[in-house]
Structure 1
Amino acid sequence: MAALPISASLLPRAVSVVLLLAVGVLGARLTWQVVEPQVRPPVGVDIRPESAPAAAGEPRKSPLAQVADLPLFGELGVPAEPAPVVAPETQLRLRLVGLMAGDHPERGWAIIAEGGGQERLYTVGDTIAGQARLHQIHADRVILERNGRLETLRLPRADGTSSARADAPPRAPAAAAPERAQPSVQRSEWLDNPERLMQAVQARPVIRSGELHGVEVRPVRNAREFREAGLQAGDVITSVNGIPLSAIDDIERLLQELAGQSQVDVVLERDGQSISLGIQLLD
């Protein structure tokens, strides 16, 4: 199957389904959108006309809560994920720009560029650059099938290199540093530039009891900016400006509010604890 080319204007809407809201402080845009009739949705997603209004008395789910109902992230009764595939690093001139991994390696999608060429959106089974087939999608890498052999293509680490191990344990925390200034981000680079944000931060939805609980975020590039925002790899953002992610009804209104604010308040989970964080938006 042909992959979907990603243009600069299409990228923020078509492939930032969870990412921009995940960093809600920084982009707050959890949307699901079919861009053109010929665009094929990710594997397993059934796009149907809008259903009839809920029956009287039945609570209406917010748009963000409805995202959790999509089979993007797996379904109850789906067999457990098989043991991780051990495959050598690919020698193809491919670059893994971003991905959305579900609870099974055959779900999700990946954004891959051939050398320095155009970025394209792929799902499992798609052919990449006429040389390999996308076989599996994991949280930090994808598995390719080429000439009957499996190969690994990884997300770049925060320092710009590919991770040497797929499941390496997190580094031990550094010694406590002196208290620093209030967490902050540059509005022009985080809020107004969704394409850059998507390439800099990896986000993964966290589903609990069938509901969207939050989004786990990790730096892909420029870990310094990630730290300056007060974030740590593995943080799970659960609310923006006092509103749980799954309860945000009017995304555009939230964006308008963020545009006029100098600070955004988020609640996140870190090491089992709930933390409130105020992040300044600097002009």
Structure 2
Amino acid sequence: MTTQLADNPMLVRAEEQGRKALAYLKTLPLDFWRNGLLFLAALWICHSLAALFWLVFPVPDVPQPANLAAPVAAQSATGAPKGAQVDVAALQAIHVFGEAGEIPPESIPEEQAAANTDDIGEVNQTTKLPLQLHGVIASEEQQHARAIIEGGNEQKLYRVGEEIKKHKGVKLVKVEEQRAILDNKGTLESLWLYSEEDFKKSSSSRNRHKVSRGSSKDPSSTLKAPVKNIKANQIPKTISDVVRFSVHREDGQMVGYKVRPGRDRELFEQVGLQAGDIVTNVNGREMNDPKQLREVYQELKTATEANLGVRRGSEEMQITIRVDNTGG
């Protein structure tokens, strides 16, 4: 039996490993064993001190609230627990997210400010403020409407509800196709895109004029329109004396000018224009750009000749206006 165990290769291998381990341990220095024993002793001392501390200072027993300690099953069996009823009114009075105060005007959204424009009635008073309306972006939804207003040689794009710069208490309340409506400290006033002063022209000398018209079928044809019994101060000097222009939009987009008679209605009709005609181009320049509209309008205020592309319903035509004020 002993011989069989001695011949077992596993036991032989284990014995060899044991001898090697013992030989390795013998090579370790004495300081290694000393430090190891000191570490174990320190660990045991720390454990003992911790146990002694909790014996001297035990953990206090915190009593559990009765309503939390009550088993849920008991509540379901006996119904709702008896106790003080919840004061719903007191809970509703608590401002969990803070107390709401007055909303400052600048924080009111454009949609809310624009909604107030529906209550604006007819405005007949024209403002006397030193302001000039250079352009409008009209829209059925007033929160998208804008007005270009100049005051004090400074232009700015205003939205509905915004206060006019350097005019405290004056706000833009509505934008229409030909005017902007201002709230001047409680009084509603109109600021027109083109004021009457822009078209007032006077002359004390005798002038003569010629006008010509061409249709879309024959652009080169002309029509001379003699004028009778015209007073000296009524003789037109520029095109703006014959025709008045206002910006026209379709589907919110600028497409040109809508015309109406100027001071000389008779000459306006003799030229071949009709009130409500849409001028889509002037001297070949398309009138679908705000910058072009403004530039052309300034030119027409002093121009004596212009070729107008006119749309009347589904018909398009070319009308040339020529005013000769050389006198004679």
Give the shorter-chain TM-score range: 0.3 to 0.5
Q: Please report the TM-score for the alignment, with normalisation by the length of structure 2.
A: 0.34
Higher fraction of helix: 2
By relative contact order (CA 8 Å, sep 6+), the higher-ranking structure is 1
Q: Please report the TM-score for the alignment, with normalisation by the length of structure 1.
A: 0.38
Higher fraction of strand: 1
Larger Rg: 2
